[in-house]
Amino acid sequence: MKRILSIVLAAVMLCSTALVFTACGGASSEKKELHMATNAYFEPYEYYKGKEIVGIDAEIAKAICDKLGYELVIDDMEFDSIITAVTSGKADFGMAGMTVTEERKQSVDFTDSYTTATQVIIVSEKDSKVKNSDDLETATIGVQLGTTGDLYVSDLKKAKVERFNKGGDAVLALTQGKVDAVVIDNEPAKAFVKANKGIKILDEPFEKEDYAICLAKNSELTEKINGALKELKADGTIKKIVDKYING
Ligand code: ARG
Longest CA–CA separation in the chain, Å: 90
Radius of gyration in angstroms for the set of CA atoms belonging to the chain, rounded to a whole number:
23
Angle, alpha carbons 188-128-175 (nearest 5°): 50
- Summarised one tens digit per residue, pLDDT across range 49-78 is 999 999 999 999 999 999 999 999 999 999
Across residues 18-23, what is the average pLDDT? 45
Q: Which CATH number fits domain 31-114+212-245: 3.30.310.10, 3.40.47.10, 3.40.190.10, 3.20.20.70?
A: 3.40.190.10
Q: Which conformational region is residue 179 in: left (phi greater than 0), alpha (psi within -120 to 50 degrees), or beta?
A: beta
5 band by pLDDT with thresholds 50, 70 and 90: low
Tell me the C-alpha to C-alpha distance, in Å, between residue 51 and each of 47, 48, 72, 74, 97: 10, 6, 16, 12, 20
Q: What pLDDT digit, counting tens, does each position of 182-201 carry?
A: 999 999 999 999 999 999 99
Mean pLDDT of all residues belonging to the chain: 91
pLDDT of residue 118: 96
Give the bridge partners for 74, in sequence order: 36
State the distance from the centre of ligand 1 to the C-alpha of 188, rounded, in angstroms. Answer: 9
Q: Is the CB of 57 under 6 A from ligand 1?
A: no
The ranges assigned to domains in the chain are: 31-114+212-245, 117-209
CB within 8 A of 202, min separation 6: which ones?
120, 121, 122, 123, 130, 131, 132, 133
Span 117-209: which CATH code? 3.40.190.10
The per-residue pLDDT for 30 is 66
Distance of CA 140 to the CA centre of its chain: 26
User: 35: Cβ–Cβ under 8 A, 6 or more apart, which residues?
Assistant: 73, 74, 75, 90, 91, 92, 93
Percent of the chain at pLDDT > 70 equals: 87
Residue 206 is predicted with a pLDDT of 87
Is the CB of 79 inside a 6 Å radius of any atom of ligand 1?
Answer: yes
CA–CA gap between residue 167 and residue 141 (Å, rounded): 12
Cα 99 to ligand 1 centroid, rounded to whole Å: 7
Closest CA to 114 of 248, 240, 1, 247: 240
Residues 6 or more apart from 177 whose CB is under 8 A from it?
124
Q: Distance between CA 181 and CA 141 in Å, rounded?
A: 5
Ligand 1 atom at minimal distance to the Cα of residue 41: 11
pLDDT tens digits for 97-146? 999 999 999 999 999 999 999 999 999 999 999 999 999 999 999 999 99
Q: How far is the CA of 145 from the centre of ligand 1 (A)?
A: 9
* 31-114+212-245 and 117-209: identical CATH topology: yes
**Residue 232 CB partners (closer than 8 Å, separation 6+):** 60, 63, 64, 67, 238
Distance, CA of 189 to CA of 122 (rounded, Å): 7
Q: What pLDDT is attached to residue 148?
A: 97
pLDDT at 200: 98
Taking a C-beta distance cutoff of 8 angstroms, is the pair 39, 96 a contact?
yes
What is residue 7's predicted lDDT score, i.e. its pLDDT? Answer: 57
Section 141-162 average pLDDT = 96
d(CA 218, CA 200): 42
The model's confidence at residue 248, banded by pLDDT at 50, 70 and 90, is low
Q: Which of 47, 144, 207 to mutate to test the pocket of ligand 1 (most atoms within 8 A of CB)?
A: 144
At residue 8, the pLDDT reads 54
Q: Is 119 in the pocket of ligand 1 (CB under 6 A)?
A: no
| Percent of the chain with pLDDT strictly greater than 90 | 85
Tell me the per-residue pLDDT of 191-238, one tens digit each, with 9 for 90 and over.
Answer: 999 999 999 999 987 899 999 999 999 999 999 999 999 999 999 999
Q: Which atom of ligand 1 is nearest to the CA of 209?
A: 1
Contact between 111 and 73 (Cβ < 8 Å) = no
